[in-house]
């Protein structure tokens, strides 16, 4: 995920301009929070400028350009018939896969650093039914076992009658000729005869572009739903239920726990595969050398491996490694919504009837109490919200962030900048509940275009089944160690809570996560004030939910 994180310091400077107004608004219990006029800090969120590839193999007839900020690329290769599995309704008996022309070779370099997602992590079972080998940079880039969804298992099963179909995918990152997207599209065409093109649009214009394409009858075959946008692509009628494909999405490879996060009124609208890099998990980086120097043998890793990693044990360890009098803290983090998500809670949840305002849930309140306590009562968190700098500098012992920071090729990530030995563990959950992987999720589905049906819908579904299988096709050195890969696998095994309320919170641009966090943790002088302040957000979420449903 190509993520650019604004610094907490910059966010606070922007917020200082409205501090006096905020204090006036929050001085009393139950008052409506002041709109956040600053640009919200994007922790694990990325907006990417677009790049282009050449040509367009889509059979969509474009009558004019419905956006001033788009690029379209043909990354399909040239050849034959092939196939992919998982569809319960298609008969492909006797069809094989043949190739003609030059065969596509896998890029030797590490795939692009990140497909931008939104902020936090997800959970569900691993992709492989057997153990896979994802090791270090010095290892081979080809896994020693064939996981479920690998090219040996999938590309031979795409129905032959889909040859010649065109699949267009709308994305919000640049697609280069030698990148992962182009590689997958070319390989897919070589083996299946299905053409694939990508259209790039900046993340902030993604929904408007998709809407305009639908109105102009040039809808893409595949489009995303990010936690930043949920539920608007669904409530606005931009996406169709994935049940229209008649596929069996209960198969083990599908990340049903994440897909359920993007359901609406009993229907699922997006597909995700376990092992996908499209979703960013919340994790904890920890300084192994610092723990060793302090002779702390009960580490985040030993607690996690023993099944005893929770908020209570985190706090015990944090107190041992923290020395606030000397400016050394146990934890540095920009955002604190991780605690809420790791408890399986969000400001807005869903049920069979639609959206539910969850602000007054006691478990959600307890999470914000805990976030307030570690900052003000226990003082184990760096109050500067200094992001990764104090961890990389060796001052703070742990760093809470998105899993994208583990990527080997990310120039401002942990592998490229830490000079000490570090480790990774899941973000802890409250004691007494099953562990929850907090995340900002991304799923891909099918726009509600009138021609996205029948064979065109099937071709798009097969491509997503292949394309989203990052676990099978990403090079081993995407992360620097087996420890990182093992963590990702473990996170997919846990329950999932995606930060989907951000799409409701930011609706209309009035509020951001910075508004909530600043109000609950920095404007609350006492622990009891946290409840008063959080109650004030109830009406904000109610108003935004109603706006979304009535637009």
Q: How confident is the model at residue 291 (pLDDT cuts 50, 70, 90)?
A: very high
Question: Is the separation of the CB atoms in 372 and 524 below 8 Å?
Answer: yes
Q: How confident is the model at residue 6 (pLDDT cuts 50, 70, 90)?
A: very low
Query: Which of 236-250, 342-356, 388-402, 473-487 bottoms out in mean pLDDT, i.e. has the lowest?
Result: 473-487
Question: Rounded mean pLDDT of 396-419?
Answer: 96
Return all residues near 75 (Cβ < 8 A) that are at least 6 apart.
53, 175, 177, 181, 182, 185, 186, 196, 197, 198
Answer whether residue 544 shows pLDDT above 60. yes
Furthest C-alpha separation in the chain:
73
Question: Rounded mean pLDDT of 338-366?
Answer: 97
The CB density around residue 93, as the number of other CB atoms within 10 Å, is 6
Answer whether residue 367 shows pLDDT above 60. yes
Q: How confident is the model at residue 546 (pLDDT cuts 50, 70, 90)?
A: very high
Note the pLDDT of residue 174.
93
DSSP states of 233-271 as a string? HHHTT-EE-GGGG---TTSTTB-HHHHHHT-BTTB---B
Return all residues near 543 (Cβ < 8 A) that are at least 6 apart.
none
More confident residue, 167 or 137: 167
Q: How confident is the model at residue 87 (pLDDT cuts 50, 70, 90)?
A: very low
Note the pLDDT of residue 201.
96
Note the pLDDT of residue 92.
33
Query: Which of 59-63, 255-259, 305-309, 332-336 bottoms out in mean pLDDT, i.e. has the lowest?
Result: 59-63
Strand order across the 223-226 sheet: 223-226, 442-447, 239-240
| Core vs surface per residue 319-354: b (16+ CB within 10 A) or e | ebbbeeeeebbbbbbbbbbbbbbbbbbbbbbbeeee
Note the pLDDT of residue 393.
95
> Across all residues in the chain, what is the average pLDDT?
79
- Could you tell me what percent of the chain has a pLDDT over 70? 72
3-state secondary structure of 273: strand
Note the pLDDT of residue 411.
94
Answer whether residue 207 shows pLDDT above 80. yes
Note the pLDDT of residue 178.
87
Note the pLDDT of residue 171.
97
Note the pLDDT of residue 472.
83
What is the spatial distance between Cα 71 and Cα 50, in angstroms, rounded to a whole number?
7
pLDDT digits 0-9 by tens, 44-76: 333 333 333 333 434 443 333 444 444 444 444
Note the pLDDT of residue 65.
41
Answer whether residue 302 shows pLDDT above 70. yes
3-state secondary structure of 170: strand
Answer whether residue 7 shows pLDDT above 70. no
- Long-range Cβ contacts of 381-385 (<8 Å, 24+ apart): 381/329, 381/330, 381/331, 381/332, 381/333, 382/329, 382/331, 382/332, 382/333, 384/8, 384/9, 384/332, 385/8, 385/9, 385/12, 385/332, 385/333, 385/334
Q: Dig out the tokens for 147 from the structure.
A: 């996981």
pLDDT digits 0-9 by tens, 90-130: 333 333 333 334 444 444 333 333 333 332 222 222 222 22
Question: Is the separation of the CB atoms in 495 and 429 below 8 Å?
Answer: no
Answer whether residue 199 shows pLDDT above 70. yes
Return all residues near 94 (Cβ < 8 A) that are at least 6 apart.
none
Q: Which domains does the chain have, with CATH numbers?
A: 70-278+440-497 (3.40.190.10)
Nearest to 534 by CA among 312, 310, 336, 344: 336
Q: CB-side exposure of 352: number of CA atoms within 13 Å?
A: 0
Question: Is the separation of the CB atoms in 505 and 358 below 8 Å?
Answer: no
Note the pLDDT of residue 473.
79
Question: Rounded mean pLDDT of 532-543?
Answer: 96
Note the pLDDT of residue 4.
36
Question: Rounded mean pLDDT of 283-289?
Answer: 98
pLDDT digits 0-9 by tens, 451-473: 999 999 999 999 999 999 988 87
What is the spatial distance between Cα 380 and Cα 375, in angstroms, rounded to a whole number?
6
């Amino acid at each position: 995920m190509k993520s650019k994180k604004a610094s907490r310091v910059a966010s606070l400077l922007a917020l200082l301009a409205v501090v006096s107004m905020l204090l006036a608004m929050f001085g009393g219990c139950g008052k409506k929070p002041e709109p956040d006029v600053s640009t919200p800090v994007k922790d694990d969120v990325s907006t990417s400028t677009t790049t282009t590839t050449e040509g367009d193999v889509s059979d969509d007839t474009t009558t004019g350009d419905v956006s001033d900020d788009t690029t379209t690329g043909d990354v399909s290769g040239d050849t034959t018939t092939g196939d992919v599995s998982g569809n319960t309704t298609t008969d492909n008996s006797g069809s094989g896969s043949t190739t003609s022309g030059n065969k596509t070779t896998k890029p030797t370099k590490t795939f692009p650093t990140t497909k931008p997602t939104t902020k936090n992590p997800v959970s569900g079972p691993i992709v492989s039914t057997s153990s896979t080998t994802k090791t270090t940079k010095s290892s081979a880039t080809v896994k020693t076992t064939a996981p479920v969804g690998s090219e040996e298992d999938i590309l031979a099963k795409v129905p032959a009658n889909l040859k010649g179909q065109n699949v267009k995918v709308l994305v919000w990152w640049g697609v280069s000729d030698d990148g992962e997207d182009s590689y997958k599209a070319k390989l897919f065409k070589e083996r299946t005869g299905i053409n694939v093109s990508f259209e790039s649009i900046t993340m902030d214009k993604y929904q408007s572009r998709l809407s305009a394409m639908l109105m102009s009858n040039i809808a893409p075959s595949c489009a995303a739903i990010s936690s930043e946008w949920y539920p608007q692509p669904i409530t606005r009628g931009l996406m169709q239920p994935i049940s229209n494909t008649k596929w069996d999405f209960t198969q083990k490879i599908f990340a049903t726990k994440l897909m359920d996060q993007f359901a609406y009124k009993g229907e699922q609208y997006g597909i995700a595969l376990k092992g996908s890099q499209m979703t960013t998990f919340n994790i904890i980086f920890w300084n192994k050398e610092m723990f060793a120097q302090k002779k702390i043998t009960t580490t985040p890793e030993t607690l996690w491996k023993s099944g005893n990693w929770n908020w209570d044990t985190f706090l015990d360890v944090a107190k041992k490694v923290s020395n606030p009098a000397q400016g050394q803290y146990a934890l540095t983090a920009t955002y604190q919504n991780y605690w809420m998500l790791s408890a399986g809670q969000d400001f807005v949840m869903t049920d069979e009837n639609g959206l539910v305002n969850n602000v007054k849930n006691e478990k959600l309140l307890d999470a914000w109490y805990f976030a307030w306590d570690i900052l003000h009562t226990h003082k184990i968190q760096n109050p500067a919200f200094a992001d990764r700098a104090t961890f990389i500098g060796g001052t703070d012992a742990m760093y809470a962030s998105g899993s994208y920071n583990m990527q080997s090729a990310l120039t401002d990530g942990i592998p490229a900048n830490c000079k000490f030995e570090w480790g990774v563990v899941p973000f802890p959950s409250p004691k007494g509940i099953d562990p929850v992987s907090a995340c900002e999720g991304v799923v891909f589905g099918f726009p509600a275009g009138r021609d996205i049906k029948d064979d065109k819908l099937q071709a798009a579904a097969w491509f997503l089944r292949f394309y989203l299988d990052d676990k099978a096709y990403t090079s081993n050195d995407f992360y620097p160690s087996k420890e990182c890969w093992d963590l990702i696998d473990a996170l997919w095994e846990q329950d999932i809570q995606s930060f989907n309320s951000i799409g409701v919170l930011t609706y209309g641009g009035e509020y951001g996560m910075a508004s909530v966090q600043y109000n609950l943790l920095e404007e609350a002088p006492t622990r009891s004030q946290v409840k008063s302040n959080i109650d004030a957000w109830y009406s904000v979420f109610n108003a935004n939910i109603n706006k979304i449903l009535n637009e």
